[in-house]
Amino acid sequence: MTKPEQLHSVAVLVPGHFNDHAVERIDRTFRRVKIERADPALVTDEMRRDVRAIASFAGISAAMMDALPNLELIASFGVGYDSVDAVHAAKKNIMVTNTPDVLTEEVADTTIGLLLNTVRELYTAEKWLRDGSWVKKGDYPLSRLTLRGRHVGIFGMGRIGLAIARRLEAFGLPVAYHNRRKVEGLAHQYHPTLKGLAEAVDTLISVVPGGASTEKAVNAEILTALGANGVFVNIGRGSTVDEPALAAALASGTIAAAGLDVFADEPNVPKALLEAPNTSLLPHVGSASHHTRRAMADLCVDNLVSWFSERRPLTPVPETVNVKAAG
């Protein structure tokens, strides 16, 4: 256990650009070590000797962990941590933390806004007003789609999925879901397969994290099952979607529309999705408010403080929940 006044000697590596509020707190509490990016080739002998923690947006590879023999903790900024090799971290007795809960409501709000925008074409309607078309051409055309009568399926009924479901209930929409396992005590209809869920609903919202188990889980088969009236919304990770298959489904009328906040190769968005008239696209802004990012920054740094002052994490990821601090 380290006394508060001794935390200033703890070296925390911060790769690349990081949240300003988190940086300010790290600078007040620890000894921040800067590095251009999380690349083991950039690790110096001094870093190898001194660094005990990493605070980062970016992915931390097994090689980066191996390059820092005294590394104890990776404080990942965000709820998703698929870019951190948490399995390797556990083998190396390195704790990994993330920032759940504090962004749940913000992301759920964004999801509902994206769904409404996709179905009711609100962004396009606003452009109609702003570019003078309302005066020159008259009323904006009636939206082809509506939320009325829709049945929504949530792929990933975790904290954010549950928050989305609560909002959808307020809209009077029935909700079903698919998870790896059924959520005990939840009244919403459970489907043991994603295809079964897609067949049962006409609106599919993906909230699952990235990783090998969800890679391109939403593919041509799932989109075909969703159907011609189908709307797909992704607020989770771009890697969970077969983007060429999605673009083809939108172009052919296999599904009606899609709303996307995340992409497989950000910030690069496939041209076919950019040009599709039946898409609503956002630049990964699910949790992007000053209020929520500050809360995420605080939790990220609070994990650092708790680990080095009390030798315990606040929000460990499941893979490293059994990692114990030495000493």
- Dihedral Cα 256, 259, 263, 267, nearest 10 deg: 120
Q: How many Cα neighbours within 13 Å face the side chain of 49?
A: 4
Q: Tell me how far apart the alpha carbons of residues 150 and 201 are, in angstroms, rounded to a whole number.
A: 8
CB 95 within 8 Å of CB 77 = no
- Identify the residue whose tokens are 């799932």: 222
Give CA separation, 20 vs 106, 274, 293, in Å: 20, 31, 10
CB 79 within 8 Å of CB 98 = yes
Q: Which residues are catalytic?
A: 237, 266, 284
Q: Which amino acid is present at 106?
A: E
Token duo for residue 59: 């992915």
Strand arrangement of the beta sheet that strand 73-76 belongs to: 31-35, 11-15, 51-56, 73-76, 95-97
Q: 238: closest CA among 210, 219, 259?
A: 210
CB 175 within 8 Å of CB 150 = no
Q: 256: closest CA among 270, 277, 242?
A: 277
